[in-house]
Amino acid sequence: MNILGIETSCDETAAAVVTDGVQVRSSVIATSRAAFLHMGGVIPEDAARRQLSCIVPVIRSALDQASMRIEDIEALAVTFGPGLFGSLIVGTSAARTLASIFEKPLIHVHHTLGHLTSTWLQADPVPVFPCITLSASGGHTDLWLRTSHTRGTLLGRTRDDAAGEAFDKGASLLGLPYPGGPSVAKAAENGNPRAYDFPIPLKGEPCFDFSFSGLKTALRYALRDMGELSPAALTDMAASYQYAICAQLTDRIVRAVDQYSECKEVHVVGGVSANTFLRSMLKSALSIPMRAPATLSYCTDNAAMIAAAGYFLWKEDHERALTSQPTQAAIPLEFAVS
Ligand code: KG4
Ligand code: ZN
């Protein structure tokens, strides 16, 4: 089944064609990131305007790269939320228009479900359930115990900032460009991750929640106390800050694997899963295989994950997936919250 996915929740305009939730025929991403590089974040109205000018060429090029016409597409899948309202409306309007003119089913996909499905893209062999999944991006940090694409338990989530947000805010304090994840990772290269002691909140507590806002405050005070940083101190500071974020994520995942020993795999998804330091820390701490999306472009926002999630929604619950009421297709609402 060929699904055309559309994702416009923030500053990326993305379209992709995916077959049976796994084979990526095309994945096109236009990003307005350069415009926000020194702004410390995305300006919503600006992002929406840029979405408008990108959406048609991006969809057209996803079809061209897949060597398909809209007639070859069997359904459309679009992110309905969460995200920036102005940006989301561009993608959902485009998807609704195409679906209605060409009489195709339209599947509404929750952005987080898209990330949760991203480890299926180009996977060989495909993942097996049950698995523990950390989904960490700029907007959320959730730890799931999943028994199928649409079933699972939310073990823990951040109590304040998301992990990606901690990278973004930390980068801004360190004078590094947005988005903070890649720039902190780059600045941290060759740095000493144990040079400065940052807190690892909730460590040892009997819960799987996360907390990152204290870490950001600790960085602010450390920078205030040190005054101007030498290049070597900046490298060590970035490395130590990155270490503290990754150590907290790793601590919760390792404990979840210990507690839910029936799990076969650990998945890390979302923008933060692009972090190579996190991946190697996890690999050495875990006793079971760890999977991240097959390419870095499937970690951050993309439409292939939305097309894949649309496919599994369709497969697992054909009737509900076909609704035009977004809330009824919002899979995270179906997960039991522990
Ligand atoms: O999933 P995503 O593209 O968008 C959201 O749904 O938020 O994630 C973006 C977030 C940003 O906060 C960015 O700083 C972070 O993912 N990120 C990274 C890396 N690449 C992106 N964080 C750590 N290391 C990276 N290499
Ligand atoms: Zn995302």
Do residues 146 and 255 share a domain? yes
Structure tokens at 192: 């000493």
Other CB atoms closer than 10 Å to residue 52's CB: what's the count?
A: 16
Q: Tens of pLDDT along 71-115?
A: 999 999 999 999 999 999 999 999 999 999 999 999 999 999 999
Average pLDDT estimate for 42-62? 90
Mean pLDDT of the chain: 90
Query: Is residue 284's pLDDT more than 70?
Result: yes
- What is the whole-number distance in angstroms between the Cα of residue 142 and the centre of ligand 1? 14
Q: Is 260 helix (H, G, I), strand (E, B) or coil?
A: coil
pLDDT recorded at residue 322: 47
Do residues 141 and 287 share a domain? yes
Q: How confident is the model at residue 43 (pLDDT cuts 50, 70, 90)?
A: confident
Q: Tens of pLDDT along 2-30?
A: 999 999 998 899 999 999 999 999 999 99
- What is the whole-number distance in angstroms between the Cα of residue 134 and the centre of ligand 2? 13
- Give Cβ neighbours of residue 258 (< 8 Å, ≥ 6 apart): none
- The ligand placed nearest to the CA atom of residue 212 is 1
Do residues 148 and 100 share a domain? no
Structure tokens at 275: 């972090």
Do residues 168 and 80 share a domain? no
Tokens 């003119």 found at: 101
Q: How confident is the model at residue 45 (pLDDT cuts 50, 70, 90)?
A: confident
> Cα–Cα distance between 200 and 212 in angstroms, integer?
8
Minimal-distance CA residue to ligand 1 atom 21:
271
Query: Is residue 234's pLDDT more than 90?
Result: yes
Q: Tens of pLDDT along 144-167?
A: 999 989 888 999 999 999 999 999
Q: Which residues lie with the beta carbon below 6 Å from any ligand 1 atom?
A: 10, 137-139, 164-165, 167-168, 179-182, 185, 270-272, 274-275, 300-301
Do residues 70 and 173 share a domain? no
- What is the whole-number distance in angstroms between the Cα of residue 97 and the centre of ligand 1? 30
pLDDT recorded at residue 323: 45
**Total tally of structural domains belonging to the chain:** 2
Other CB atoms closer than 10 Å to residue 283's CB: what's the count?
A: 12
Average pLDDT estimate for 45-51? 86
Whether the model clears a pTM of 0.95, i.e. scores above it, the answer is no
> Cα–Cα distance between 61 and 290 in angstroms, integer?
33
- The ligand placed nearest to the CA atom of residue 298 is 1
Tokens 């919250």 found at: 337
> Cα–Cα distance between 186 and 191 in angstroms, integer?
10
Query: Is residue 39's pLDDT more than 70?
Result: no
User: Which atom from ligand 1 is nearest to the alpha carbon of 163?
Assistant: 12
pLDDT recorded at residue 321: 44
Structure tokens at 214: 């204290």
CATH of residue 237: 3.30.420.40
Do residues 141 and 222 share a domain? yes
Query: Is residue 38's pLDDT more than 70?
Result: no
Do residues 146 and 284 share a domain? yes
- What is the whole-number distance in angstroms between the Cα of residue 177 and the centre of ligand 1? 13
Do residues 145 and 178 share a domain? yes
pLDDT recorded at residue 324: 44
Do residues 59 and 96 share a domain? yes
Do residues 72 and 171 share a domain? no
pLDDT recorded at residue 41: 65
- The ligand placed nearest to the CA atom of residue 271 is 1
pLDDT recorded at residue 331: 40
pLDDT recorded at residue 336: 30
Query: Is residue 229's pLDDT more than 50?
Result: yes
- What is the whole-number distance in angstroms between the Cα of residue 247 and the centre of ligand 2? 22
pLDDT recorded at residue 205: 86
- What is the whole-number distance in angstroms between the Cα of residue 172 and the centre of ligand 1? 14
Q: Tens of pLDDT along 177-215?
A: 988 999 999 999 999 999 999 999 888 888 999 999 999
User: Which atom from ligand 1 is nearest to the alpha carbon of 139?
Assistant: 7
Average pLDDT estimate for 242-249? 98
User: Which atom from ligand 1 is nearest to the alpha carbon of 276?
Assistant: 26
145 is in which domain, residue-wise? 128-292
Do residues 271 and 321 share a domain? no
Percent of the chain beyond pLDDT 90?
Answer: 78
Do residues 177 and 274 share a domain? yes
CA–CA–CA angle 157, 161, 165 (5° rounding): 115
Q: How far is CA 283 from the centre of its chain?
A: 19
Residues within 5 A (CB) of ion ligand 2: 137, 301
pLDDT recorded at residue 25: 98
